[in-house]
Homo-oligomer: A and B are copies of this chain.
Amino acid sequence: MAELTHFDARGRAHMVDVGDKPATKRRAVAEGAIAMQPATLELIRSGSHKKGDVLGIARIAAIMASKKTADLIPLCHPLPLTRVEVTFEPAENRIRCRATVETTAPTGVEMEALTAVQIGLLTIYDMCKAVDRGMTITDVRLLEKSGGRSGHWRRECANPESP
């Protein structure tokens, strides 16, 4: 059976040794969404050019959070990110967030991309919670990763979790 690499043979957690892996270009794309009432979505949309730029602020929070990943996730390696891009796309009753993160390092940036998405969506929640406390963050997942020994990975569309 598969083993969890974050533990040694005796079950003790460690930061995995990546010292012998070459620094290669790594890329990860993650996404997620926050579901909300239509009126909330409308408020955010109109706000973008009139009342307060919720998505602009959430984007900054997402980018800054990606830089804190190793501080938040106990066994993550600190990595020198070379690119972070975050987009938001409003749909019917939700806003979808997508983050792309890149580095040149001996290990990947999946966690950085996921952290960006999580905090970006949380920031939307924070800014709109006074009008819609029931918003739900959902479908946060890795879409794609490349670089490193495990090569290119892409989420299959047939995934039952996918909307």
Question: How far apart are A82's CB and chain B's nearest CB, in angstroms?
Answer: 4
Q: Decide yes or no whether A91 CB sits under 8 A from chain B.
A: no
Number of copies: 6
Q: Are B126 and A76 in contact (CB-based, < 8 A)?
A: yes
Q: How many of chain A's residues have a CB under 8 angstroms from any CB in B? A: 93
Q: Which residues of A contact B (CB under 8 A)?
A: 1-8, 11-19, 25, 32, 35, 39, 43, 47, 49-54, 56-57, 59-61, 63-68, 70-87, 102-106, 110-111, 114-115, 118-119, 122-123, 125-131, 133-142, 145, 153, 155, 159, 161
Dominant SS among interface residues on chain A: mixed
Asked whether, in the complex, the Cβ of A11 is within 8 Å of the Cβ of B129, the reply is no
